[in-house]
Structure 1
Amino acid sequence: MSRWLPEVDEVLEASGWTPGRQVDTGRWRSMFEAVGLAMHDAAEAFLQEFGGLTVNVRGAGISCARTPFELDPELAWGEDDRFAEWGEWIGHRLFPLGELDHGRFFLGIDEVGVIYLVETWVASFGPMPQAMEHLVLGVAPRRIDEEYEPAGQPS
């Protein structure tokens, strides 16, 4: 039995995913650890299974448009401070997963397997495997940064 609806399986398989897929995450681990962003177990497990996939979904979704996403942490290279700051704010370590909507937003994962949209604000797609369904089927993430004040901004 799949952990997703059949439509999600179909979309992921069309993107190159197969059950039991194993991708070497060493390059991503080395890159980000060199700038102080450690890859935790949840990030490694996710990227081993889904790293390198480009998911080209489009059209109407459940609560927002279906938006393409690419699962390659290198697409968030240079944004380590953004992931570190938001991780500190939410109380979980965030590791980059890639980008959503052709670079408009970044995707990250915390150490308990929750997937986030990361920008100048942050929102949650929920925990895996539900988060993957939300991404594929067009379920809007829940914004969680409403009380956040960036450093140096007046209250």
Structure 2
Amino acid sequence: MSALDGLSPGVERLLEGSGWSRDRRVSIGAWDAILRGEGYRLSPCAEEILRGLGGLRVRPVGTGPYTHDLLFEPELAGSGAYDIAEQFEEQFGQRFYPIAEWISNACVFLGDAGKVVSYDDIERLDIADTFADALDIILLGVREPRVID
């Protein structure tokens, strides 16, 4: 099953409006080379998501304090934050890779088992256990993410 399967119709519409299609593929080698040099390891799930969504900026339709554009730029989001990824790894038992920037330069990380979390200078968020659920929360505002510190 693809990491991009199971997206809700509302999320698919937002992604398509931002330039995404099921056959979209972008090169992620430059991003990964830099991030790999910092210690990150690209999982197959993160690779698939970034090949399909890399470079896109998606504007959410939800409302509330977590309503911000989601920018799929892993280097911008995660460069210099490998120590945070290691802390999430210790907490959740999976390796994390940066996939997007969100909320005032927050880094959205994807775990190799599918967990989606976020970090910025103010708080850490447990967004969802799957990428599809995370997009429902981030882009549609179906609920607020759980603050974990």
TM-score of the alignment, normalized to the shorter chain, above 0.5: yes
What CA distance in whole angstroms lies between the structure 2 residues aligned with 1:65 and 1:22? 28
What CA distance in whole angstroms lies between the structure 1 residues aligned with 2:133 and 2:111? 14
Amino acid at match of 1:78: G
Q: Spell out the pairing of 1:51-130 with structure 2 (5 A cutoff).
A: 51-58=54-61, 60=63, 65-75=66-76, 76-103=78-105, 105-119=106-120, 120-130=123-133
Is the counterpart of residue 15 in structure 1 residue 18 in structure 2? yes
Moved over 4 A (4+): none
Amino acid at match of 1:54: R
**Partner deviation per Cα, 1:19-59 (whole Å, 9 max, x = no partner):** 12212121122111112111111211111111111012255
* Distance verdict in 2 for CA 1:59–1:110, change over 3 Å: closer
1:7 positional shift: 2.5
Partner of 1:129, secondary structure, is: helix
- Is the contact made by 1:125 and 1:135 (CA closer than 8 Å) also made in structure 2? no
Structure 2: which 5+ runs fail to align? none
**Partner deviation per Cα, 1:47-97 (whole Å, 9 max, x = no partner):** 111111101225526xx5532111101112111211122222221101011
TM-score where L is the length of structure 2: 0.82
Corresponding residue to 2:146 among 126, 142, 147: 142
- Is the contact made by 1:25 and 1:48 (CA closer than 8 Å) also made in structure 2? yes
TM-score where L is the length of structure 1: 0.79
- Using the aligned pairs only, state the percent identity: 26
Structure 1: which 5+ runs fail to align? 147-155
* Distance verdict in 2 for CA 1:48–1:89, change over 3 Å: same
**What RMSD over aligned residues (CA atoms) do the two structures have, in Å?**
2.1
Pair member with larger Rg: 1
Number of residue pairs matched by the alignment: 141
